[in-house]
Amino acid sequence: MVAIRNATMEDAERLLEIYGYYVDNTAITFEFPAPTLDEFKVRMEKTMSRYPFLVILNNGKIEGYAHAGPFVGRAAYAWSCELTVYIAPKARKCGFGRKIYGALEEALQKMGILNLYACIGYPDKNDEYLTTNSADFHAHLGFKTVGRFYKCGRKFGRWYHMIWMEKIIGRHRNNAEVNFKSTL
């Protein structure tokens, strides 16, 4: 049975295990080395203080997570968020990413968020560390490529591009408000 719920600090070790795989084995994230558990918990607390941080479970086991964060970090961007999603390697291609992103988008709409952004590593050509799968996933969910940075990230001795993708999920009204701290 698949379920989605808000993350808790007790989930941190499993979430870091999922994220750590991508840090150590892929260029999906340009981060390296992987954060410590304490560093990861600090990130979680900061995110959860303002934005949704969700986990997806399959038969009680966490198989992935998704969260929103500030886009740029200035007050004028309060109606925009950057999204992150990581699914356990063995749980990919099961629809979990689509399900948890749908729940995240719904929670953000309730908050008054209007624009969603994803910062995605993008290969010059597919290799063993990075493919276009993440960009393809986002495009399938309605995101459009709005920016491209060339050879801006270096990992595993290779240069990688980065793209920004955007999805508009609400109407841009003059009296728009954001209700921070949303939960499922």
Long-range contacts formed by 24-33: CB under 8 A, 24+ apart: 25/129, 26/129, 26/130, 27/121, 27/123, 27/129, 27/130, 27/153, 27/155, 27/156, 27/158, 27/160, 28/121, 28/130, 28/134, 29/121, 30/121, 30/153, 30/155, 30/160, 30/162, 32/155
In a domain, 104, yes or no: yes
CA of residue 35 relative to chain centroid, distance: 16
Over residues 63-116, the pLDDT tens digits come to 999 999 999 888 899 999 999 999 999 989 899 999 999 999 999 999 999 999
The pTM score is 0.94
181 falls within a domain: no
In tens, the pLDDT along 109-167 reads 999 999 999 999 999 999 999 999 999 999 999 999 999 999 999 999 999 999 999 99
In a domain, 152, yes or no: yes
Asked if the structure places residue 89 within a domain, the reply is yes
Question: Is there a domain that residue 180 lies in?
Answer: no
Find the domain containing 82 and state its range: 2-168
pLDDT tens sequence across 21-50: 999 999 999 999 999 999 999 999 999 999
Residue 17 is predicted with a pLDDT of: 98
Q: Kindly report the CATH number assigned to the domain that includes residue 132.
A: 3.40.630.30
Domain count, the chain: 1
**Quick check: is 175 in a domain?**
no
* 113 within some domain: yes
pLDDT at 184: 61
